[in-house]
Amino acid sequence: MNLNERFDVSPGKVEALLERIQRLGIDAKLIEEGFSRGKGPGGQKINKTSNRVQLHYPPLGISVVCQRERKRTVNRFLALRELVDRVEMKFSPETSQRLQDLQRLRRRKSRRAQRSRAKYGQENA
C-alpha cells in the first residue's frame, strides 16, 4: 500500500495516522489492498464504481472492509485508520483511544443496569 497518495481528508488527520503507523511499527508494504463494487444506498455512484475498500495485514491476520463514504480515497483512509486501531488494540491496549472509549461505554451501561435493578427490582432488569 502506498501511503504517499493523497487522501481526501484534512492533512492533520493524515499526519496523525502516519505517526501512529510509524509508532506501532506497521509495515505499509505488507498491507494488501483490494477494491470492489459497493452495495446498499447511494445510487448510481455506489453501483458503478469500485469504492469498497478491503485491507488485509497478513502478519497479524487482520482484515478490514470499509464502504462508509462514496469516495474511494476517503474509504481508503477510514479503512486504514480502522486497521491501525485494531493493531493498537492488540499490541498496545493502554494507549488505544478506541479501547478506552469501549471501556467507558461498558461502565456507563453497567451503572445504568445497576440503577434499573435498584429502582425496579431484579425481575424487570
Q: DSSP letters along 23-84, please?
A: HHT--GGG-EEEEE---SSSTHHHHHS--EEEEEETTTTEEEEE-SSS-HHHHHHHHHHHHH
In this structure, the answer to whether residues 84 and 98 fall within a common structural domain is: no
Q: How many domains does the chain have?
A: 2
CA 6, CA 73: separation in Å to the nearest integer? 8
What confidence tens digit (pLDDT) does each residue in 25-81 have?
Answer: 999 999 999 999 888 777 777 778 888 999 999 999 999 999 998 889 999 999 999
Residues 16 and 53 in one domain: yes
40 plus 101 within the same structural domain? no
27 and 37, same domain (yes or no): yes
Looking at the structure, tell me whether residues 88 and 115 fall in a common domain.
no
> Are 72 and 103 in the same domain?
no
44 and 10 co-located in one domain: yes
Please report which confidence band the pLDDT of residue 108 belongs to, taking 50, 70 and 90 as the band edges: very high
pTM of the model: 0.76
Q: Please indicate, yes or no, whether residues 34 and 74 belong to a single structural domain of this protein.
A: yes
54 and 24 in one domain? yes
How far is it, in rounded angstroms, from Cα 117 to Cα 120?
Answer: 5
Same domain, 72 and 112: no
Tell whether 120 and 85 lie within a shared domain. Answer: no
Give me the domain span that covers residue 24. Answer: 1-92
